[in-house]
Structure 1
């Protein structure tokens, strides 16, 4: 069995962060979200992985390499344009050959991994197995309709009037039967080859398509709110660790201070992680905050936020619910709001009242 990981999307909902970085490499708890997916695939016993890449191919390759760090063998497959999930299957046809495969969206996060899903698929081997979860606004997702017996009878991509609240999670399992369905697809009204149309074609042809409802946590980390929520969730399971230097400071709860980091005259309330080489001075870092490597925080307060590498926050009264890119400088400006909410691209320079 193989895995097909989709890492070619442009990440428009995370701009300006994704103007300069692949969305799949934006970190959660100081680790790229893509890595969680690769680890889940390896844990499920799948070793042969094809990664579909686009304009950010060089970044993805530099981060993942040959896959050996994850116990995987990785093949890179270039998609010239983001023309839909089914298009990714189409361009991967030669790589996938006649193997069963799991298709995993590289910006999705699933608590508990996919071990059970893969075991069930291998045991029952339907033509397709889809993961579903209830969502408050299914119009943003592919939506499944089930009959009274729980059988999948219809699928629709981002419907204006959804027939259920069951959204397709970004993990699909297929036998080679899907290739015939994909080969006959026409572009949707969005101009893409939709995987929902391919699965619907399997249903119409009498193939066995099985749903798997998940009650655990799943997020498509496509926007800032979801990134912060996933960051919160991962930090909830953090094990405290002190490898860096802490002086005249207070660490409360589950806090990780990585090697080479230093905390002076500050208060860190966990769960929080402080990256290698980061210096925090006379500051407060609150719960659910990830600070990446080589950052500087001084005379400031920040919580429920993600700060990417080599950025600095100096003299700012309070920052919360923010995603701050690489090489950003945040400094005071004349006026003093009670709180700041920021989404800053890499290399930004911002003045804030404090």
Structure 2
């Protein structure tokens, strides 16, 4: 079995971060979310992975390399534009050959991995196997309809009137039968080749499509709220350790990791939290569920429930929370007079300012 990892999306819901960074490389607990997926694939006993990449291919290739760090042999597959999940399967046809494969969306996060899913597929041999989870608003997802026995009888992509609350999780397993389905697809109203249409084709052709409803945690980390929630979840499982320097005037409370080369001076850090390599924290407060990336600076400031990416600096400001701060960003106080807000914002930015 091979893996097909889709990492070619543009990440419009994470702009302006994704104007300059691949959404799959936004860090969760100081590790790119894509890496968690690659580790889950390797843990399931899969050794070959095709990585579908787009405009951010250079950044992703630099981060993942040949895949050996994950125990994988990675082959890169260029996608000219994000034209749908099934389009990723279409361009990977030669790479996949006649092998079964797991398709994993590179910005998804599944607690517990996929080993059990892969083992079930190998044992029961359906044409396709999907993962489902119950969601509050299924209109934002691909939605499955099941019969009384739990067999998949219909799928629809982002329906106006969902027939169930069961949304597709971004992990799919396929036999080579899916290639015939993909070859027959026409673009949807969104202009994309939908994987839900391919699975529906298999159902209508009388082929077996199995499903499992997961009870564990799953997130599509496509927006800031979900990124911060996944970051919180992962941080809650870290083991506290101090590899850097913490002075006697500082206090670490709970699950706190201070990475190699980092310094914490005259500060209080309340876990779960990670202070990245060579980061500097002084005269500051770091609250729960916060990740400071490598080479960050936090001086005379407060931050909580946030992700701060490498080399960013925050100095002389009051409490910052529920924030995603990009590489090399600078957060500083505004002048006292005149009272005004000075902003430089990228396209699609969202800013909340207290009056």
TM-score (norm 1): 0.95
Structural mapping, 1:150-189, within 5 Å: 150-189=150-189
- Could you tell me how far apart the structure 2 residues matched to 1:285 and 1:70 are? 31
- Could you tell me how far apart the structure 1 residues matched to 2:208 and 2:310 are? 47
8 Å contact from structure 1 (residues 178, 199) kept in 2 = yes
Change (3 A) 1:189 1:335: farther
Change (3 A) 1:220 1:90: same
In the alignment, does 2:257 pair up with 1:226? no
Q: How many Å apart are 1:333 and its aligned residue?
A: 1.7
In the alignment, does 2:87 pair up with 1:87? yes
Aligned residue for 2:267?
266
Q: How many Å apart are 1:151 and its aligned residue?
A: 1.1
Aligned residue for 2:129?
129
8 Å contact from structure 1 (residues 325, 344) kept in 2 = no
For residue 187 of structure 1, give the secondary structure of its aligned residue in structure 2.
Answer: coil
- Could you tell me how far apart the structure 2 residues matched to 1:344 and 1:269 are? 31
Aligned residue for 1:312?
313
- Could you tell me how far apart the structure 1 residues matched to 2:345 and 2:273 are? 20
Structural mapping, 1:256-335, within 5 Å: 256-334=257-335
Q: How many Å apart are 1:334 and its aligned residue?
A: 4.5
Aligned residue for 1:141?
141
For residue 61 of structure 1, give the secondary structure of its aligned residue in structure 2.
Answer: helix
- Could you tell me how far apart the structure 2 residues matched to 1:17 and 1:36 are? 20
Q: How many Å apart are 1:335 and its aligned residue?
A: 6.2
Q: How many Å apart are 1:343 and its aligned residue?
A: 12
String of CA shifts for 1:24-69, please: whole Å, max 9, x gaps: 0000000000000000000000000000000000001000000000
Count of residues in correspondence between the two structures: 345
Aligned residue for 2:246?
246
Change (3 A) 1:343 1:279: farther
Which structure 1 residue ranges, 4+ long, deviate > 2 Å from structure 2? 342-345
- Could you tell me how far apart the structure 1 residues matched to 2:283 and 2:219 are? 35
Aligned residue for 2:20?
20
Change (3 A) 1:160 1:335: farther
- Could you tell me how far apart the structure 2 residues matched to 1:250 and 1:189 are? 56
For residue 332 of structure 2, give the secondary structure of its aligned residue in structure 1.
Answer: strand
For residue 333 of structure 2, give the secondary structure of its aligned residue in structure 1.
Answer: strand
CA RMSD, aligned part only?
A: 1.9
Aligned residue for 2:47?
47
TM-score (norm 2): 0.95
For residue 163 of structure 1, give the secondary structure of its aligned residue in structure 2.
Answer: coil
Q: How many Å apart are 1:317 and its aligned residue?
A: 1.0
String of CA shifts for 1:290-337, please: whole Å, max 9, x gaps: 00000110111000000001111111110000000011111112469x
Aligned residue for 1:339?
none
- Could you tell me how far apart the structure 2 residues matched to 1:47 and 1:157 are? 31
- Could you tell me how far apart the structure 1 residues matched to 2:29 and 2:22 are? 17
